[in-house]
């Protein structure tokens, strides 16, 4: 899931909320938010503003330079696996 979140943020031109990311990957927003919090602690993403839904504010996530580097590595690994016809590679930690 971490790799998918990083790739979605890499393709996005604007910061996204956990709900936006979950919609794009057809997943659960609470699970995405949990992974985003973990990646925040690792310095891969940062909070770049808030978006209001009703009366609540939700953080908007964007990639740090380290997160962008990891996302590009993931993208290259997936492309190489696709070219070789192999299974999806194990997530890079």
Please, which contacts does 46-50 make with residues 24 or more away whose CB atoms are closer than 8 Å?
48/15, 49/15
Write the pLDDT tens digit of every residue in 56-76: 888 999 999 999 999 999 999
DSSP type of residue 44:
S
Q: How far is CA 83 from the centre of its chain?
A: 23
Find the mean pLDDT for residues 34-60: 91
Global confidence as pTM: 0.85
Write the pLDDT tens digit of every residue in 9-18: 999 999 999 9
Domain 2-83 falls in which CATH fold?
Arc Repressor Mutant, subunit A (1.10.10)
CA distance 67 to 35: 13
CA distance 75 to 67: 12
CA distance 18 to 36: 8
């Amino acid at each position: 899931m971490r790799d998918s979140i990083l790739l979605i943020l890499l393709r996005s031109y604007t910061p996204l909320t956990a709900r936006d990311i979950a919609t794009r990957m057809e997943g659960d927003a609470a699970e995405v938010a949990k992974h985003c919090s973990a990646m925040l602690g690792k310095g891969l993403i940062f909070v770049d503003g808030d978006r209001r839904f009703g009366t609540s504010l939700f953080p908007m996530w964007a990639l740090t330079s380290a997160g962008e580097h990891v996302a590009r590595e993931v993208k290259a690994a997936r492309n190489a696996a696709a070219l070789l016809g192999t299974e999806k590679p194990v997530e890079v930690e």
